[in-house]
Amino acid sequence: MSLSLLSVASEVFPLIKTGGLADVAGALPLALAEHGIDVRTLMPGYPDVMARIGTGETLCRFVNLFGGPAAVIGTRLGDLDLLVLDAPHLYDRSGGPYVTAGGFDHPDNWARFAALSQAGAAVAQGAIPGYRPDIVQAHDWQAALTPVYLAVSGRPRPKTVVTIHNLAFQGSYPASIFGSLGLPAAAWSLEGVEYYGNVGYLKGGLHAADLVTTVSPTYAEEILTPGGGMGLDGLLRGRGERLVGIVNGIDTGVWDPRNDPVIASPYGARSLKGRLRNKRAIEQEFGLARGDGPILAVVSRLTWQKGLDLVAEACDAIVARGARLVVVGSGEPMIEGQFLAAHARHPDRIGVRIGYDETLSHRVQAGADAILIPSRFEPCGLTQLYGLRYGCIPVVAKVGGLADTVIDANHAAVTAGVATGVIFGPPTGPALIDGVDRVLDLYADPKGWRSMQVSAMNADVSWRASARIYADLFRDLTRE
């Protein structure tokens, strides 16, 4: 039986991306299609998105959506079936999806994403003639009011799912906006959106949804604890079996070292020699001294969550051990500054690119030997999956999805030939250095290293297994 699912997300690769959410929102629909689930994806019409889609078909209109007229435009991009919310008063402006060009939150984000959710609820209840999804999947706080609007509507509605990609971002706003959300007074309650005297978008969605999912089994456990729950652990514990952790996959078509147009030289698990040319290419690109020693890499938001202050502080120790480091990322000015200073100290050993560069991220995964991910918490993480796929050995902290997707090179795993990376813990400076020491020891044995690269590249990081779990859950939900 085929099912129809409306996915509501604030970023979708390849149209707009600030992080892993976009990759998931762009790839999961294609994987679900293989299980007979037709996905349409509703997203905001930011300028880049409107420019990319050109003219589509107007499927429905809103006379006044949070202060101005809006329309849902239907279009296809590759295999993605997109519903773009064209609302110039909310989305047609400079800056990123969430922040201004100056780096501050758009002051009306509360309205921009309540509008996305309200439009999602309207579409879910038939605003587009002939379209009635069986399920709505709302991603993160930006879409989390969708199930709330549906729950209070008092009309027949599809089943609802909220997927948590990162509990650190909750969409919490002053109580004064409540009156503008178009919710009934009763929604200002413990069962509704009230959250410690504020309006909590994610909190409301987690309460209202028929099912809550998150992006790895370990993170699903971590968020039940006071340390990992970021204030929502009590609510989440209350959801019991209605909270499920499913590990992310990646789009193995977009990320395929045998067939990646932006890397210097394609290679596969059986032709790893070709990988060396990619290493030479990034040495050149980052102005590093040529060498046979390992190149470690960082491709990430440079934030506290990602633990990259720890790598920044370890730069001298990394160089002292004969390794080199390349960094691609942007984020907290202090961490950016630390990396730039490390580059100034070791210009031919440490290369730093501050900014966001999708193409370079592929080249780094193809050319570096190992990727460092010392996250303090990590719901799933995708860069370690790209690392596995590209034979760029992940060196990860033992948290969340990192722990679920990497097989540590301990004695048993190495002997059995199944290791795919190095797991260290807890995410502290000394533990990171320990992880670096272990990966350097492994690198020093070329045969063992190659065998680990092959195991990594053969690991199934596709959506295949996880899409089946989602599909089964969604089917069960519609049968309730």
Applying CB under 6 A, the residues found at the interface with ligand GLC are 19-21, 24, 165-166, 215, 248, 378-382, 401
- Give yes or no for residue 96 binding ligand ADP (CB under 6 A): no
State the nearest-atom distance from the C-beta of 187 to ligand GLC, in Å. 27
Nearest residue to 265 via CA among 280, 250, 253:
280
State the nearest-atom distance from the C-beta of 250 to ligand ADP, in Å. 8
Of the pair 13, 178, the CB lying nearest ligand GLC is at 13
State the nearest-atom distance from the C-beta of 327 to ligand ADP, in Å. 9
Copy the structure tokens of residue 139. 């991603």
Of the pair 24, 70, the CB lying nearest ligand GLC is at 24
Of the pair 21, 335, the CB lying nearest ligand ADP is at 21
- Give yes or no for residue 357 binding ligand ADP (CB under 6 A): yes
Strand 70-77 to strand 57-62: parallel, antiparallel, or no bridges (unpaired)?
antiparallel
On whether the CB atoms of residues 261 and 277 are closer than 8 A, the answer is no
State the nearest-atom distance from the C-beta of 328 to ligand ADP, in Å. 5
| Total chain residues near ligand ADP (CB under 6 A) | 18
State the nearest-atom distance from the C-beta of 211 to ligand ADP, in Å. 22
The single-letter code of the amino acid at 124 is A
Identify residues 374-433 at the interface with ligand ADP (CB under 6 A). Answer: 380-383
Of the pair 98, 188, the CB lying nearest ligand ADP is at 98
Of the pair 158, 401, the CB lying nearest ligand ADP is at 401
Of the pair 246, 354, the CB lying nearest ligand GLC is at 246
- Give yes or no for residue 23 binding ligand ADP (CB under 6 A): yes
Question: Considering Cα of 429, then 433, then 435, then 439, what sign does the dihedral take?
Answer: positive
State the nearest-atom distance from the C-beta of 401 to ligand GLC, in Å. 6
State the nearest-atom distance from the C-beta of 335 to ligand ADP, in Å. 12
On whether the CB atoms of residues 20 and 165 are closer than 8 A, the answer is yes
Of the pair 40, 376, the CB lying nearest ligand GLC is at 376
List 4, 252, 330, 451, residue binding ligand ADP (CB under 6 A): 330
299 binds, options ligand ADP, ligand GLC, none, Cβ within 5 to 8 A by partner type: ligand ADP
Cα–Cα dist 152/146, whole Å: 10
- Give yes or no for residue 252 binding ligand ADP (CB under 6 A): no
Question: Considering Cα of 377, then 383, then 387, then 393, what sign does the dihedral take?
Answer: negative
Cα–Cα dist 266/256, whole Å: 9
- Give yes or no for residue 19 binding ligand ADP (CB under 6 A): yes
- Give yes or no for residue 332 binding ligand ADP (CB under 6 A): no
Cα–Cα dist 58/146, whole Å: 21
357 binds, options ligand ADP, ligand GLC, none, Cβ within 5 to 8 A by partner type: ligand ADP
Q: Distance between alpha carbon 339 and the CA centroid of its chain, in Å?
A: 24
For the beta sheet containing 211-214, the strands, ordered from the edge strand earlier in sequence to the opposite edge, are: 57-62, 70-77, 80-86, 37-44, 3-8, 135-139, 159-164, 211-214, 243-245
Stretch that binds ligand ADP, among 14-22, 147-155, 219-227, 420-428 (CB under 6 A): 14-22
State the nearest-atom distance from the C-beta of 239 to ligand ADP, in Å. 23
Stretch that binds ligand ADP, among 2-10, 116-124, 294-302, 428-436 (CB under 6 A): 294-302
Residue nearest to ligand ADP (CB): 20
State the nearest-atom distance from the C-beta of 274 to ligand ADP, in Å. 22
Point out which residues pair with 214 in neighbouring strands: 164, 245
215 binds, options ligand GLC, ligand ADP, none, Cβ within 5 to 8 A by partner type: ligand GLC
Cα–Cα dist 216/461, whole Å: 13
- Give yes or no for residue 299 binding ligand ADP (CB under 6 A): yes
329 binds, options ligand ADP, ligand GLC, none, Cβ within 5 to 8 A by partner type: ligand ADP
Residues that bind ligand ADP in the complex, under the rule CB under 6 A: 19-21, 23, 299-301, 328-330, 356-358, 361, 380-383
